[in-house]
Structure 1
Amino acid sequence: MAPLRIGIMGCASIAVRKVLPAMASLPGTAIAAIASRDAGKAAEIARAHGCRAIEGYSALLDLDDVDAVYLPLPNAEHAGWIDRALAAGKHVLAEKPLTTSASRTRELIAAARAAGLVLMENVMFLHHSQHVAVRKLLADGAIGELRAFHAAFAVPPRPPGDIRHRADLGGGALLDTGVYPVRAAMTFLGSEVDVVAAVLTRRHGHPVESAGQALLCTADGVSASATFGIDHAYRSSYELWGSEGRLVLDHAFTPPAGHVPVLRLERRSGAEEIALPPDDQVANTLAAFAAAVRSGRLPDNDDVLRQAVLVDDIRTRAKRYAS
């Protein structure tokens, strides 16, 4: 079967460092073209991958030999270009978050369904097998009944001009790192968790929040805390706390392909560390996207929309602080 021909809409760091190498190595995907507003940048990256360089994103969408686009643009630019890509008949893999609002996310999901096109949000950690192992232990009663879930994802500060600090480009900790612990809470507690309270903190004169925390809860009282930031020592972890024990996973959200995951299981009888096989969540995500396009089975995207609703709720309910 011919590989899925994907056009790259933008030369963001995540595309160059992670997605393009994985895309080039998979038999089911091929890099058809790389587009940038900067013709020189597009040419440089295209040379490294033996494909065409395209100046401008509209020109990429006009290419007949591009089946789908991967979109790693700043958050605030997602919705408009997703809309245009769908109108051009292209399947879309877009970096998270899909858009900056639940209402716009709902519109684009509906547009993709109506057009029979795959629209997929690139939340890659969902495609790593370590979380399957966690769910199995939880289902097997390894920690008894789940009582609480805690997750944190934070990264060190970027230079002042970085897009994460620009409100006009959809920057801020909530959309950059907050999506991960929120989606993890949905994964283990169910998509119908609700936002109970939230805090967003703006530091060092930044125009957007640099830290935050949200408290979520299920209808039967199982709580989740989601902590996030873009001005922190690095942390990427979650823990599930049950009636009879605790499960802890570090490197939960962005592990490299060669990383050996280690689950820590703590019970009254003692603690043990369970080593899991390495996995490549980037390659898995791309393979899942290509498989969805080939099969014609459109993702329902209900969890993508629910995630967007929760993010909107966090933004609306949050108490805001500055330091």
Structure 2
Amino acid sequence: MAPLRIGIMGCASIALRKMLPAMAALPRTEIAAIASRNAGKAAEIARGYGCRAVEGYAALLDLDDVEAVYIPLPNAAHAGWIEHALAAGKHVLAEKPLTTSVSRTRGLIAAARSAGLVLMENVMFLHHSQHMAVRDLLEDGAIGELRAFHAAFAVPARPPEDIRHRAELGGGALLDTGVYPVRAAMSFLGGEVDVVSAVLTRRHGHPVDSAGQALLCTGDGVGASATFGIDHGYRSGYELWGSAGRIVLDHAFTPPADHIPVVRLERRSGVDEIPLPPDDQVANTLTAFAAAVRSGRLPDNDDVARQAVLVDDIRTKARLYVDHATEPVG
């Protein structure tokens, strides 16, 4: 099977640190071209991968030998360039969130399906095997009936000029880190969870939320809390609390490929720490994307659309707290 030839739309940090090295190493993917608005930057990065450099994103879509594009642009730019890529007949792997609005997300999913093109949101943790091990324990009754789910993902503060602090680029903690615990809750509780309440906090004079928490609930009363932030000590994990015990997983969302996951199983009989094999969620995600393109099996993307609804509901229902005591930026 010929490798999938992918064009890179932009030189974002995640592309340079994670996606490009993985694409170059995998037999099922090939870097066809790297595009940037800065021709010199594109050329410099392209030299390291022996591929073509392209000035401007539109020019990338004009290349016949580019079968798919990877879009790591700021959140607010996703929708427009996904639309252009689909119109050019390209399959798309886009960073999360797919777009910043429910209507645009639904519209692009429908457009991709109508065109027979793969559109995939790059939520990589879903492709790590550690979560299947947790699911197996849950389904085997290791902690009895599930009563609650708690998840958190937060990262230390970025510099004031970081794009995560810019409202016009789709910044803020909810879209940056909040997507992870929300999607994890959906993964274990099902897509029909609803938002009960939420709070979003703005600090340091930023125009976007830097922290937040949401309470979700299933139809049968199982609650989930999702905590997120971009101005915190690092945390990345979740726990499932059942009638007979608890399952805890740290390093849940962005573990490096050499990380050895440990699932903590707490029950009345004692505590077991279960080591799991390392896994590479970046490689797994790219492999899944290439396989979908080559097989012609389009993702239904129902969870992507539902995630967009939940994120929008969190934003709509949230009580906004503005910390006026913190020093303004600049």
User: 2: distance between equivalents of 1:263 and 1:50?
Assistant: 41
Name the residue aligned to 1:248: 248
User: 2: distance between equivalents of 1:276 and 1:197?
Assistant: 35
Name the residue aligned to 1:186: 186
Name the residue aligned to 1:102: 102
Residue type matched to 1:20 in 2? L
Name the residue aligned to 1:273: 273
1:215 to partner: Cα distance: 0.2
Name the residue aligned to 2:312: 312
Tell me the alpha carbon deviations over residues 248-301 of structure 1, each in whole angstroms, 9 at most, x when there is no partner: 000000000000000000000110100000000000000000000000010000
User: 1: distance between equivalents of 2:141 and 2:241?
Assistant: 12
The reply on whether 1:207 has 2:226 as its aligned counterpart is no
Name the residue aligned to 1:40: 40
Name the residue aligned to 1:141: 141
SS at match of 2:121: strand
Q: Name structure 1 gaps, 5 residues minimum.
A: none
Report how many aligned residue pairs link the two structures. Answer: 323
1:44 to partner: Cα distance: 1.0
Name the residue aligned to 1:228: 228
Name the residue aligned to 1:19: 19
User: 1: distance between equivalents of 2:203 and 2:142?
Assistant: 40
Tell me the alpha carbon deviations over residues 131-190 of structure 1, each in whole angstroms, 9 at most, x when there is no partner: 000000000000000000000000001010100000000000000000000000000000
Name the residue aligned to 2:298: 298
User: 2: distance between equivalents of 1:317 and 1:104?
Assistant: 20
User: 2: distance between equivalents of 1:101 and 1:132?
Assistant: 30
1:65 to partner: Cα distance: 0.3
Name the residue aligned to 1:168: 168
User: 1: distance between equivalents of 2:178 and 2:96?
Assistant: 11
The reply on whether 1:257 has 2:257 as its aligned counterpart is yes
User: 1: distance between equivalents of 2:42 and 2:246?
Assistant: 48
Identity of aligned residues (%): 85
Name the residue aligned to 1:90: 90
TM-align CA RMSD:
0.4
Tell me the alpha carbon deviations over residues 212-248 of structure 1, each in whole angstroms, 9 at most, x when there is no partner: 0000000000000000000000000000000000000
Tell me the alpha carbon deviations over residues 87-107 of structure 1, each in whole angstroms, 9 at most, x when there is no partner: 000000000000001110000
Residue type matched to 1:148 in 2? A
Name the residue aligned to 2:238: 238
1:130 to partner: Cα distance: 0.1
Q: Name structure 2 gaps, 5 residues minimum.
A: 324-330
1:84 to partner: Cα distance: 0.1
User: 2: distance between equivalents of 1:286 and 1:32?
Assistant: 15
Residue type matched to 1:290 in 2? A
User: 2: distance between equivalents of 1:236 and 1:101?
Assistant: 25
User: 2: distance between equivalents of 1:184 and 1:101?
Assistant: 20
User: 1: distance between equivalents of 2:4 and 2:287?
Assistant: 10
Q: Which moved more, 1:60-69 or 1:43-52?
A: 43-52
